[in-house]
A = this chain, B = another copy of it.
Amino acid sequence: MQLSTVSELLSQKIATPEVEVKGWVRTFRANRFIALNDGSTLNNIQCVVDFENTDEAILKRITTGAAMHIKGELVESQGKGQKVEINVNSIEILGDSDPETFPIQPKKHSFEFLRENAHLRTRTNTFSAVMRLRSALSFAIHKYFNENGFYYMHAPIITGSDAEGAGEMFRVTNLDDKNPPLNDDGEVDYKEDFFGKETNLTVSGQLEAETYAMSLGKVYTFGPTFRAENSNTSRHLAEFWMIEPEVAFMDLAGNMDLAEDFMKSVISYVLENNHDDLEFLDKRLQDEDKTKPQAERSDMSLIEKLKFVTENNFKRVSYTEAIDILRNCKPNKKKKFKYIINEWGADLQSEHERFLVEKHFKCPVILFDYPANIKAFYMRLNEDGKTVRAMDILFPGIGEMVGGSQREERLEVLKEKMKALDIDEKELWWYLDLRKYGTAVHSGFGLGFERLVMFATGMSNIRDVIPFPRTPQNAEF
């Protein structure tokens, strides 16, 4: 007899009625019904035990969390909630689970409690669904880029350049922690460190991805990035994953087309392939919503929000138009916004982004042509001399999902911008080389993977969408 997964059993993709399955007990009811799960699906297979002919000692060991090897016959279920079930012929207990001490009991646990038990939390429906979706989204991303002629590149994690300025960095070192060697100036002598210079964890692989785009044409990164910001919020992690495509010969309009097509494709993939998990999370969110005051409830269910992205065209609006709309909108005039929009040049907050998406346009929005001084140095300066070819994609509920730009391809303009920001040309000699030798228009964007997983699962705390979150004061596991 061959071992089947629960998923195979429930979809009845098996040849004989005699089946064999291994998994963990979720619940055991009435000394008779084991709900068994093996991670292959959200759903459990019901295993019906003939308790009158089963050793009492065995029955006592069928507890939540115990690992079992079950053999029996797959039959049509008499009960409701499942099509098939197993009439158990033999039970072997592979690993016990003491109900007095096993932390994951069949009851509602707080997410905070489950974070402290992150090594066990995927034994719950919610976290197994979230992590299956995380995996499916990852695959959808690789699949999309592969089908569209992109090459995956691994940007370096340890970096000797801190020029991007996207945030505080973590130092990577091998020097003596208490008495590091000092140089003649009395400063720490990084020449003696492992890499012969000061090194940090990367904040973005974009600049390196540009070097590959300018030879291989279409590339993307998908790797971990780091920020040493002491932000203890539900939206920040010190370690998170980013996706950064970069394409030669593509302008900002092409960048918008790519990002829209990409986001729709990836979300469609999980709508098609992860129905059970999404439905479960959708219901979870609706139940949670019912406990909130009316004003805080969301207008759309989880699946409605995903379809809002796949079924609507993304509205493209210039920053300048957006400022006009915001300045004149009701919540601004009635001072309902926390940050009132007074003039051109203001940086938009999540409340403004969500207003544009959810109330004004009622579709995902791409804002473009932002003021140069609120955006990064590498963005392509427009002919007006004050805006850059940047774009942000705004989604319902979450605000900014994607940030990208056409890159400054003109050597002299780039050098001037770097000078103004005090970025040393020597630090980025290789980045400037791309503008010296065969420069061309090129563009790309960045997507924080965990924000995408939050959006697709409806989870509201970013710590609940990554296996082992790294945050201030926490690097457990």
Chain A positions within 8 Å of B, measured between CB atoms, are 3, 5, 7, 22-25, 38-40, 65-67, 94-98, 101-102, 104, 118-120, 122-123, 128, 131-132, 134-135, 138-139, 142, 146, 149, 151-161, 168, 170-174, 177-178, 180, 182, 187-188, 194-197, 199, 201, 208, 211-212, 215-218, 223-224, 226, 228, 230, 238-239, 241, 248-249, 409, 430-431, 433-441, 466-468, 470, 472-477
Known contacts: A146-B139, A158-B238. The answer to whether A173 contacts B170 by CB under 8 A is yes
CB A235 to nearest CB in B, in angstroms, measures 18
CB A219 to nearest CB in B, in angstroms, measures 8
Question: Among A153, A226, A228, A438, which residue has the most Cβ atoms of chain B within 10 A?
Answer: A438
Are the C-beta atoms of A135 and B119 separated by less than 8 Å?
Answer: no
Are the C-beta atoms of B153 and A135 separated by less than 8 Å?
Answer: yes
Taken together as a complex, chains A and B put the C-alpha atoms of A170 and B223 apart, in Å, by 19
Are the C-beta atoms of A433 and B151 separated by less than 8 Å?
Answer: no
Taken together as a complex, chains A and B put the C-alpha atoms of A467 and B366 apart, in Å, by 32
The one of B156, B437, B476 in contact with A95, judged by C-beta atoms closer than 8 angstroms, is: B437
Are the C-beta atoms of B158 and A239 separated by less than 8 Å?
Answer: yes
The one of B5, B97, B128, B156 in contact with A467, judged by C-beta atoms closer than 8 angstroms, is: B156
* Further contacts, 19 of them, CB under 8 A, given A66-B438, A95-B440: A22-B440, A38-B249, A67-B439, A120-B433, A120-B437, A131-B153, A132-B151, A134-B154, A135-B151, A135-B152, A155-B468, A156-B475, A170-B174, A171-B177, A177-B180, A194-B230, A194-B238, A211-B477, A223-B224
Q: Which residue on chain B has the smallest CB distance to residue A409?
A: B95
Note all chain B residues with C-beta closer than 8 A to A128: 215-216
CB A349 to nearest CB in B, in angstroms, measures 27
Note all chain B residues with C-beta closer than 8 A to A187: 178
Taken together as a complex, chains A and B put the C-alpha atoms of A439 and B97 apart, in Å, by 8
Taken together as a complex, chains A and B put the C-alpha atoms of A180 and B175 apart, in Å, by 13
A-B contacts, 17 listed (Cβ < 8 Å)? A22-B440, A23-B217, A67-B439, A95-B437, A95-B440, A97-B437, A120-B433, A122-B212, A131-B216, A154-B466, A155-B468, A159-B477, A161-B477, A174-B228, A196-B472, A199-B475, A211-B477
The one of B153, B155, B173, B196 in contact with A171, judged by C-beta atoms closer than 8 angstroms, is: B173
Taken together as a complex, chains A and B put the C-alpha atoms of A477 and B208 apart, in Å, by 7
Taken together as a complex, chains A and B put the C-alpha atoms of A39 and B214 apart, in Å, by 9
CB A218 to nearest CB in B, in angstroms, measures 7
Note all chain B residues with C-beta closer than 8 A to A238: 158, 194-195
Taken together as a complex, chains A and B put the C-alpha atoms of A156 and B474 apart, in Å, by 12
Note all chain B residues with C-beta closer than 8 A to A159: 475, 477
Taken together as a complex, chains A and B put the C-alpha atoms of A160 and B38 apart, in Å, by 29
Are the C-beta atoms of B151 and A170 separated by less than 8 Å?
Answer: no
Taken together as a complex, chains A and B put the C-alpha atoms of A132 and B118 apart, in Å, by 37
Taken together as a complex, chains A and B put the C-alpha atoms of A409 and B67 apart, in Å, by 12
Q: Which 10 pairs from chain A and chain B are nearest by CB?
A: A95-B439, A39-B216, A39-B217, A160-B475, A195-B475, A135-B151, A122-B215, A67-B438, A119-B430, A119-B211
Note all chain B residues with C-beta closer than 8 A to A7: 149
Q: Which residue on chain B has the smallest CB distance to residue A150?
A: B135
Taken together as a complex, chains A and B put the C-alpha atoms of A160 and B474 apart, in Å, by 9
Note all chain B residues with C-beta closer than 8 A to A154: 134, 224, 241, 466-467
Note all chain B residues with C-beta closer than 8 A to A228: 174, 194
Known contacts: A156-B239, A195-B473, A467-B156. The answer to whether A178 contacts B177 by CB under 8 A is no
Q: Which residue on chain B has the smallest CB distance to residue A195?
A: B475
The one of B122, B142, B182, B409 in contact with A139, judged by C-beta atoms closer than 8 angstroms, is: B142
The one of B25, B138, B152 in contact with A152, judged by C-beta atoms closer than 8 angstroms, is: B138
Are the C-beta atoms of A467 and B153 separated by less than 8 Å?
Answer: yes
Known contacts: A128-B216, A430-B119. The answer to whether A438 contacts B177 by CB under 8 A is no
CB A37 to nearest CB in B, in angstroms, measures 9
Are the C-beta atoms of A178 and B188 separated by less than 8 Å?
Answer: yes
Are the C-beta atoms of B215 and A24 separated by less than 8 Å?
Answer: yes
CB A174 to nearest CB in B, in angstroms, measures 5
Taken together as a complex, chains A and B put the C-alpha atoms of A186 and B40 apart, in Å, by 51
Are the C-beta atoms of B38 and A208 separated by less than 8 Å?
Answer: no
CB A465 to nearest CB in B, in angstroms, measures 10
Note all chain B residues with C-beta closer than 8 A to A168: 174
